[in-house]
Homo-oligomer: A and B are copies of this chain.
Amino acid sequence: MCPAKVVDGVTRGFVIPIGGAEERKSDPAILKRFVELSGGKAAVIVIIPTASKLADTGANYEQVFLELGAHQAVSLAISSRDDAARADYLELLQQATGIFITGGNQLRLSTIIGGTPVAQAIRKLNAGGVHVAGTSAGAAIMPEHMIAGGPTGALPNEQGVTFAPGLGLINKVLLDQHFSQRNRLGRLLSAVSYNPFASGLGICEDTAAFIGPDDMLEVVGSGSITVVDPSGLKHSSMADARIGEAITLIGLTLHMLSSGAKFDLNTREAFPK
């Protein structure tokens, strides 16, 4: 799904995929910046804890965002598709200046909220200027094409990644999270090479991509983002590879970006801090 249409004169909100395990106490740079962006003391953060099966995930984040100075933080207890159509939840979403999607299992998230009024509302609100952050599974679901799974390892292969349709807040990148921690370069390379139209972002834990309405991405956090840009790809053996066979990919561009570095999703240029 493509991002929802932005009405003339309106600026789209930021889309902020986080690689999981973001710092919440000692130096919560990412969440702090998200709250500030969402209005600081005036911020109303609505939390979607659906990816998690833990009962206290939503409440924990409410606490974190209030400690970071948000005016209000409320978690929507959506654990079924019916929940994702509740009028009171949709009303709360309309108050949001920032929406936060927690971690857990991205297929749980996509199967429960995919195509529901809540998903439609998140898409429209983002197009209307509301910032949407998501961590781990909550980051995975953001693109048009969501990485749902795949084997670990550094090498691409013919069965190297499983896709599912995502929320479609962004469609110029594919992304994977817990990137270095879970050794996921191989599945990002597989994803990028299945159809080399989009850049791949490998986002480390405690690291976020703040993607602005101008499609400029800025790295925030203690880790790094690995960018694989396949726009110069000259040859790929992906289509001809047998199961388990090593893959040839010629002409990828690779950037390692740490805090403050930027990447323009349109021109695919990277910039240092």
* A200 CB to nearest chain B CB (Å): 11
Smallest CB gap from A271: residue in B: B250
Which of A47-55, A61-69, A153-161, A163-171 forms contacts with chain B? A153-161
Q: Which of B155, B202, B248, B255 contacts A251 (CB 8 A)?
A: B255
The reply to whether B224 and A250 contact each other, CB–CB distance below 8 Å, is no
A105 at the B interface (CB under 8 A): no
Q: How many copies does the complex hold?
A: 2
A76 at the B interface (CB under 8 A): no
Which of A86-94, A107-115, A138-146, A256-264 forms contacts with chain B? A256-264
List residues of A (15-39) whose CB comes within 8 Å of B's CBs: none
A148 at the B interface (CB under 8 A): no
Contact with B along A186-197 (1 / 0, CB 8 A): 100100000000
Q: Which of B155, B183, B249 contacts A255 (CB 8 A)?
A: B249
The reply to whether B261 and A256 contact each other, CB–CB distance below 8 Å, is no
A117 at the B interface (CB under 8 A): no
Give Cα distance in the complex from A255 to B256, angstroms: 16
Most chain B CB inside 10 Å of its own CB: which residue of A202, A253, A254, A273: A254
Smallest CB gap from A225: residue in B: B246
A254: chain B residues at CB < 8 Å are 228, 249, 252-254
The reply to whether B273 and A237 contact each other, CB–CB distance below 8 Å, is yes
A79: chain B residues at CB < 8 Å are none
> Given contacts A154-B185, A224-B246, A253-B253, is CB(A258)–CB(B272) below 8 Å?
no
**A to B CB contacts below 8 Å, 30 in the list:** A153-B180, A154-B226, A155-B223, A155-B256, A156-B256, A180-B186, A189-B256, A222-B246, A224-B246, A224-B247, A224-B248, A235-B272, A237-B272, A246-B256, A247-B256, A248-B255, A248-B258, A248-B261, A249-B255, A249-B256, A250-B256, A250-B257, A250-B272, A251-B253, A251-B255, A251-B270, A252-B253, A252-B254, A253-B253, A253-B254
